[in-house]
Structure formats: structure tokens, C-alpha cells
Structure 1
Amino acid sequence: MKYTLRQLEVFLATAHYENLTRAAASLSMSQSAASSALKDLESQFDVQLFDRVGKRLQLNALGDSIRPRAQALLEQASSLEEALARHQGTGHLRVGATLSIGNYLAVEIMARYMSEQEGARVELEVANTETIVRKVANFELDLGLIEGESRHPDLEMVHWRDDELVVFCAPDHPLAGKPWLSDDDLLDAAWIVREQGSGTRQHFDWAMHGLLANMDIKLELQHTEAIKRAVEAGLGLGCLSEITLVDAFNRGRLVPLPVPHRDFHRRFYFALHRQKFRSTGVERWLELCRESTQGLE
């Protein structure tokens, strides 16, 4: 074999950071050692994998085409190492989750995963759909749990569970207690909603087709709790996943507003890179996610 796993690690780190010094630091190597490993990889096959623009190293077409396979190979090597060391242990996972999922569903799944085997670790990153999709596509996360839909060509979107957005208001809002809201009600109200790039905002915009251009979007906030507090303070109506509102409804702090003629049904998805090796840990995480929905659907 003409290449080493270390050479592939240097190649992938350089592709990620687009800078050899930062790539070397991430691998605890000297810059000269990293540079030598990269030069050896290219010279052994008489190829160039990067376009060198000043201090920046940008993947060229050949480098970009082999990157997923190099990543998959290292993932398999890592999985083999974990299996030998832990006798098929599940190991370390990097999971991305959108805000509603990360704050209300993922932590319980993470606790179950980590309790199954001593030493198993999970890094959970919570961000909006756009960010999670980008990081899974860039091999920065092993998988994503997202609320929105994505057509990224490198990702496989696998249905996980169904969800419903709910329109809501403060108990003393003029619309509270109304049997249902008409389109005129929706247009007359002020709204506090999620930011562009979030899955919740994506589906809210779809559900409000034909009205959106004339709606009063008063605030766009990145966090569900901030939206709930703003609505509770009487600043307007909100629209969030039902999983984020159960406690507030039970306590009477917020009340749901039926909008039966608008489609607020949506799906949660697993976002998986098509060319990334699926380790034992990834497969077990997916199983735990599916088990968590039993009895719900």
C-alpha cells in the first residue's frame, strides 16, 4: 500500500482548515511533518490535490473527489480500532441536532447511549438546520437530527418521526379561546418566529403560503425559549413545534390556537452523509432514536 492512514489524516485536516499550520496543530504534529506527509502522498501518485493560493490550500477537483472515500476509510479504521479495544464498543459520536430536537429529545437519547457502555462519549452540537446540514456534509458531524428538509446532494435524508407546529398566544391575548383562526386573523396579528435557516421557519413559511408577504413578522429569534417568553409577554403570536410547548400549555402560561385550514404537519429526519462509513455507534444511535418514538406513531 503506497499511502498511510496518517497521510490521509493530514490530507483531510488540510482540506478542512485550508491551512497547513492549523491542520498540523489539530493533529498534534509539527508543520514540517504535516507538509512532508502531504507532499509524500501527492508524489507517490504523481498528483496534486490542492490549489495553492498564498497561504491557503484549496481542494482541487481531484482532491474533492477522493475526500469522501478518504474520510470513509479513516472511519472504518477508527471503528476497527474501537472494536479491538472495546470488544465492539459503541465509542465516540459527534451528533448535530436542531434546536427543538436538541433541547427536547436528544439529551435523553444521549443519556441512554452513554449509559450502555462505560467510556462512550457524545459531542452534541445544537444549531439550526442550515448549520447542521453544512457540518454533516463537511464531515464535521457523524450525523444530524434535523427539523427541516434538505436536498444536499451528498446527504441521505431518512425519516425519523412526525411532528406538528402549533400556533399559540398568551392567555390574555384577544385571540385566546377563539375556536379557530381565519386567514384575516393571521394577517392582522403580529408574529414572533424563528430565524431564516431554521427548519421551523422553513415549514412556517410553507404553511403560510399566499399570506407570508403581507404578514407582520415583528421579531425573528434564534431560540424557542425566547420566542415563548416574548409571546407570553403579549408581543404577538408564535409558532413552534408541539414538543417545545407541552409544559407551557400544561401550566397555562400559553394557549394553542387552532388553524385547521393550514398544514403544519412536518417530519424530523436523520441527515447522513452518503459516503461516510456508519460505525457501530452511529447505527446504535439510530436504533435508540427509533425506539424513542415507539407508541407515538
Structure 2
Amino acid sequence: MDMKNITLRQLDILKMLGATGSYTKAAERLHLTQSAVYVQVRKLEQEIGLPLTEQVGKKVFLTDAGSEVLRTSTQIKTQLEELSRSLEHLRDVDDGQLRIAVTSAANAFAVDILARFRQQHAHVKVLLNIANRKEVLESLERNDIDMAIMGEPPQNLDLLALPFHRNDLIVIAAADHPLVRGPRIPLERLVQETFVLREPGSGTREAILRYFEGHGLQIEGELIMNNNESIKQAVKVGMGVAIVARHSVLTKIEAGYLCELKVEGFPLSRMWHIVHRKGKNLAPAPFCFKTYLLQHQYVRSTQEFSQIIS
């Protein structure tokens, strides 16, 4: 059997046909005509020498041969992606790409850093994904990204996490909140307020709850929001108080929409971390970005810098 004329496009078409069970839907998803999908599947069957699909009623199914071809084609695509990543290590920094995920709490901060990095490396292709902490960790686990920027990295995963920038957490409230102009607020008084918090699994949420638990306190009332912008808006209109990264609300505080409350023990001093899988062989562009972060932030000496990037 000579299969040298099989194309990756034909394999993609077969995969989509198996996923949708319809020539029409497969054609729509692939932006092809229905006849083009049909012709390519027939050509693939001619190369294989076996029927790859069968129609039962109105739905198209893959035959056993079709399923076997699809399984092997998935392996081929995976190997080609690995080859592409391997070849990145042979390119110069500015010919490469940086695949990075950022937790939503670090959104504006990380975008500013990336903009400054690209002033020096304008041709680096940046693929940025802004997601919640759980999704960022899943991307690292699947090896879909080179690295991530987040606050509190988990301790139970096979990750290398390097602190590179201070991340102060402050308590914010609406500009007209009764506690704004009073004396420094005890924690016991603060926990009586309604808190606007991120969803379970958020690194900031976990840090906040651990802090209060460490002082024998528990938040009495809470509203849950799935992104930081919603939290800031909720606080602005008086729905509660919140604990957020100071850098993320500076403009709103300066504009008079929000206020920083003076609270016992605050600000909470945390760090932003650059995180990637242990043992990951970073291509030139990601390695250069990691080096840039550590050089330009809170590395105190050349010796410390040399130790931390090794």
C-alpha cells in the first residue's frame, strides 16, 4: 500500500467529519464546500484502499479503518508540533515566539511588561492567554504554554516558580464608604463587612482566606465575581469591600472612584511569580523574556541573578 500522497489537510478533513458526523457541518467548520470535503475523503480512501466512513441514516460515522487512520494522524500532528517546538531552539530570539498565560489579576501588569519587552524584541511573536488560575495551571500541565505569570503558585505541582516583582494586596472600598475616613480598622471590624471575592480556586482568594484564618477570623458575608473588573465595579457602587493587587486599582483610586482603607496588617506583601514546568527546555524567546523579568525587577545582585536563572 503506497500512502505517500496522503496530505495533512485530508487528515484534518477526516477528523472534522468524525467530530461532526456531517459533510455539511464539516464543510462549514473548515470553510470548504461540501463537495470539496467529499472529494478529499474519497481521495484518502483511494490511497488507504479501504472505506473510511459509512452513513447510517442522516449521520456519517468513521469505520474501524477510519478510526485507525484518525488515531495515527493525531500522533503525526503531535510529532510535527514537537518538531516545530524543537526547531525554535535553533532560531534567534527575534525569530521565535513566546506562549504565555497570565492570571486575570495580573492582566494589566503583565501586558505592560510584555509591551516593554517587545520594545527591545519587536519581532518576537507573543501568544498571550488571560485566564483564571485553574485554567493557567491546566495550560502548564498540558505544556500548551512556555510559562505563566501568577501570584500564588501551588506547591504540589512539578513547577519552577521564581518571584520577580512585589505584589501588595490592599483593601478597597467605595469612595463614600463609612470606614474611609476613620482610624486604622481592626481586622475584627473589617470581617463584619460584605466582601467581594473571586471564585474558589483563585490565588488571591486563597491568600485572603488563609490570612484571616491565621488570625482566627472568618469572613461573614461574601459576593463572588469571576473577574477583577467586576469586583472593582461592585466595590465602586457600594456592594462591599475587596482585597486586590494595588497596581490593578491605582488609576481608579487616583480618579476618586475607589479608596484604599487603612486596615491593621495591610497591605499584604506578596510576590508575582514567573512559572514554568521543571525541566522545560525554553526556546530562545521565552528564555530571553524570563531573563528580562529577573534582570529588570527585584534581583539584587549579579550573583543572585546567575543563581536564579540556572
Q: Which TM-score applies when normalising by structure 2?
A: 0.67
2:106 aligns with 101
Pick from 91, 109, 112 the counterpart of residue 96 of structure 2: 91
Q: Which has the larger radius of gyration?
A: 2
Q: Give the C-alpha shift of residue 143 in structure 1.
A: 0.3
Contact 1:72 1:276 in 2 (8 A): no
Q: Give the C-alpha shift of residue 274 in structure 1.
A: 1.2
1:13-58 deviations in whole A, cap 9, x for unaligned?
A: xxxxxxx937x99xx9x9x79xx9xxxxxxxxxxxxxxxxx9997x
Gaps of 5+ in 2: 1-7, 9-13, 20-29, 31-40, 49-66, 301-310
Alignment of 1:251-270 (within 5 A): 251-261=255-265, 264-270=268-274
Alignment of 1:215-234 (within 5 A): 215-217=220-222, 219-234=223-238
- Among all aligned residue pairs of Structure 1 and Structure 2, give the percentage whose two residues are the same amino acid: 22
Pick from 182, 185, 191 the counterpart of residue 187 of structure 1: 191
Indicate how the Cα distance of structure 1 residues 101 and 291 shifts in structure 2: closer, same or farther if over 3 A, else same.
Answer: farther
Residue 123 (structure 1) aligned with residue 127 (structure 2)? yes
Distance between the aligned counterparts of 2:281 and 2:227, measured in 1?
33
1:6 aligns with none
Indicate how the Cα distance of structure 1 residues 263 and 106 shifts in structure 2: closer, same or farther if over 3 A, else same.
Answer: closer
Pick from 85, 89, 99 the counterpart of residue 79 of structure 1: 89
Cα RMSD, aligned residues only: 3.9
Gaps of 5+ in 1: 1-9, 11-19, 37-53, 58-62
1:165 aligns with 169
Pick from 132, 141, 144 the counterpart of residue 140 of structure 1: 144
2:217 aligns with 211
Pick from 258, 265, 278 the counterpart of residue 274 of structure 1: 278
Distance between the aligned counterparts of 1:75 and 1:262, measured in 2?
44
Q: Which amino acid aligns with 1:222?
A: N
Distance between the aligned counterparts of 2:298 and 2:275, measured in 1?
20
Contact 1:147 1:268 in 2 (8 A): yes
Alignment of 1:36-55 (within 5 A): none
Indicate how the Cα distance of structure 1 residues 269 and 98 shifts in structure 2: closer, same or farther if over 3 A, else same.
Answer: same
Q: Which amino acid aligns with 1:215?
A: E
1:75-122 deviations in whole A, cap 9, x for unaligned?
A: 333321x23xxxx535111110111222x2222222233343453210
Runs of 4+ in 1 over 4 A off after TM superposition: 54-57, 70-74
Distance between the aligned counterparts of 2:111 and 2:187, measured in 1?
37
Indicate how the Cα distance of structure 1 residues 117 and 133 shifts in structure 2: closer, same or farther if over 3 A, else same.
Answer: same
Distance between the aligned counterparts of 1:192 and 1:153, measured in 2?
29
Contact 2:97 2:286 in 1 (8 A): no
Q: Which amino acid aligns with 2:195?
A: W
Contact 2:165 2:298 in 1 (8 A): no
